[in-house]
Structure 1
Amino acid sequence: MSEFQCKVTAISPLTEVVYKVELTPAQPVDFKAGQYIMVHMGEKDKRPFSIANPAFDNGRIELHIGADEKNAYATEVLDRMRSEGKITLSGGHGEANLQSDGSDIILIAGGTGFSYTWSILQQALKDNPDANVTLYWGGRNQSDLYLFDELTALAAKHPNFTFAPVVEFPEEGWQGKTGWVHKAVMTDHTDLSNKQVYIAGRFEMAKVARDDFAKCGLTTDKLFGDAYAFI
């Protein structure tokens, strides 16, 4: 995969610990919705981050990077981008990209895994506005779901798109789903045999979801996630 350099156009906070990074390459980048790029920090130090923008909008690269003070892996990347104003990338990588076959699509994200599903969601709605797509996004609190308002508005605009936020620690007055995000999917969909499922989050969550979803009839050829290349 060839390397390419990007100008760092903007780095802006989405939450106290999550940043939106906007990069501009010299030429459009060839990638598929749901793929990731590698940030080249050194010859043998390449760090993966999901591409948040859809493939039809390939004149730029958008990343959502979670970087609290304990996460040097991500913080170092942001520091490099801020200090140098440019960064070398390669991509798109990964085989868990959008592969629509006409089935209803379920997108599942934990935390900043949302960036993976955000790319796929935008692409799916453009490719087939009548497709049934549901996004389950899990976070500790509603404030962690940093595009909550935008997704709510998008669901109002697209009647076949459903946004299902899930929080672990709901505040008073919360009327949405609570608990583990993949369990919320199973509550709503006891039969997953005719669905396509795309998932991004911690490896532990992805493994448990794969095992549980199999009990609901989901076959591995309809389950997509970068984690499954490693677990």
Structure 2
Amino acid sequence: MMFEAAQQIILARSYRMSDTEMLDALCQVLSRQGYLSGIVIDEAPCCPSSSAYTNRFGSLLRTYSLIGYSPERDYRYVEINKRLRELHPEVVADAERAVAETGARVEKEPISGVLKINDEFRVSLTLSRCRPTDAGANRWLIRFDNALRPDITVAVRMELDARTIRDFYLLPSIDMRANLIRLGDHNDFGLEGYRYDDLSMLCRLARRIPLKGVAYE
């Protein structure tokens, strides 16, 4: 909520600027920094946010074209990957907490973030960024880190903003033969059977059902 409020304040500030003033401000940032990206724009003083430029001109790339700037590479992916790396520990912590609340025993490997649940199976969580295509569809690449030897890979598909979780795929290693899979907006039934809106299925797998006469440590 605080983030959204801050964004509204920045957008409101930009609405008071004319198109020419906004583009002039961007030119000044380019002159100082030598290149442009969403992060560079957002961190620049006396300049509207990257969201403001997107709202005003349709997209950052179109805004760049209006000032004659052609990025040598697409810095958006650099920023998105950085954002996902920062978000990964939070997603792992949320999963760890949700599973622990079911009464399961959870151990997290400090470096990899792999969750060992009830000393029975290992879960790796990976965040996959949304990759829009020229045709207007979306794609996600899911890479399996076989070196971690997880029993289940939880593929967390992100929305285009790289902040919002779209859904989760619980992919058992025994069923995954390739090192990576490609997902789209609509997938075949074999893959959709692994899709969930939240982590409730992982919690169900982790939950221990007490049996009469059996004592758990």
The TM-score with structure 2 as length reference comes to 0.23
| Structure (1 or 2) with the larger CA radius of gyration | 2
Higher helix share: 2
Higher strand share: 1
